[in-house]
Structure 1
């Protein structure tokens, strides 16, 4: 084995302790057999292939020139005190390998949209009950998975100090998940803008006095005085009604029933809303066979097909009670 290996080969060594152990059987000097190969592997090391030089797959640090009385853990801590393994060793060594975690999901319930591979990459193994999973490193439990939940991002959200997250933060699947999350956040902003346009056009269709103040116009749209007051303070100096409405929506405190119903759909500017929907996976988040085409009211979430909507009384996204489900046409 060469000191220079590809990133792909390095990641394989990180996720497979048997592969790391094999490097010691292949390259470790016989004169250094007084050191425990298994202990090197437990701490994430593999044998580089140049003398007694080893490298940690958790912190990427190199160590060599081992002496008979050297303690592997102490040397590791001395030279790389910020290594994730040194800061907080993993709790379940039997699940330290990706393959062992993946195997634990053999009975993972089919109704959950989270893929076994994504859960295993995120450090989780299946507890065999419901949708309960546990991190092999930090011992954190994640359950109650919902459509759209990304395992690695949920792991970071609830257990941000887990050292496994530090180990894998540069791996492609983690980087791609963060990128997708940021894109989704942009789409959410676009949808808010679309709702703002929806409300403003509705008002302009019904308002009797165009000379009203922004606060009066917002009240005519249907917003409560308390929310209008909060948004006005956020706006600061002089502002128009469009700025005020956007500030109200940014507060995330309004409910659908607080807004007056609009006269007809033809007054809604759908351009921004359609743009935000184009980047989403159009498949139903319940059956994954048909495209979503049914919106829940009053929450407004659009995520499943007409057939699946008939079986749901609580919105899977926000947990609010569904009073009505209506088929929509996005083309």
Structure 2
């Protein structure tokens, strides 16, 4: 890519031109993981300055707009690319600068593209996209949503989504990385209940947890808050219920047809055609367990898993819960413990009933002789060992100080990777070896 720049930081030939403002669709979000959806990434390209580079192509290869010059960031590897030339191809540049990105390397990710095909995978993508749009338009964010930057962690609460940010001053402090040129006052945003998530122009309400992005210069934060989240208690208390309802009726937010939160059996079957589900099943996981685990996650959070590892852990937890429930159901009969009613007559072979977590039958589990199926017990042992190994690897990636966030900072020159960005920020010496920290790196953990 050429380094020849103009005075405004843009490549030669990229002069800004007067053009009709981009049409804005759905601007709400509940979590930053929404950027796994190509449709969401496309919505971030508001006021895109380059006429020669199609935002659709950028969104299709994993990029979203940072609202700073022409800089875009990958939703999967977090790599940033900017200063584009007319001859640049988004996918080629992505691979050249970030060859280890799981998205461009062909690894199964939680990406949900605007596929448009009529096969089962295309139908699965459309289901996920439609379901996300319904959830973000018709439900309130979960109270367990965490603060999305690396500067603060908010405890869970059932009343206020982010209680530590209930003052204007605390919310203003979150706008340290607010992009220049957005044209919306930081003070006005904070007064309307919003704080910056640290990602582009994405903000959330401290009270209802509702998020908005893709701001324009003429936007009024109070009006936008009332329009997109008319049931937020903070807005109703500050602006008055009548004013909020008027804003909402005058310019209603995008809406989608209502539907049940619960997925139908046919919709649940489609989840197995997502690349993450396919890859996990190829590795030996049970299709039935995968379907059940993804269904529960989607109904709870409205989002797919980001990685195959996350999907595997989800399935292991689901199967463990299923085994626990089955054990509780089988532990007694009419209130009498089974052990007390067992027939004492000796049998030639003891038979037990075991659920196969990888190849479940359509009917109930079939009794079999342990002595005749040693390979089966060996398989169960290997599955349990695999589960323990995965959990151990996940724990190794957790911050050793807060134990709540993933490790994200490599100290230099000792190269220790033990802390998340929040815990590493105030550290001057490495807590593991005591070496003076002279710099930090952000590794790509995929």
Pairwise TM-score range, normalised by the shorter structure:
0.3 to 0.5
Instruction: Normalising by structure 2, report the TM-score.
Output: 0.30
> Which of the two has higher C-alpha Rg?
1
**Greater helix share, 1 or 2?**
1
Query: Which one scores higher on RCO, CA 8 angstroms, separation ≥ 6?
Result: 2
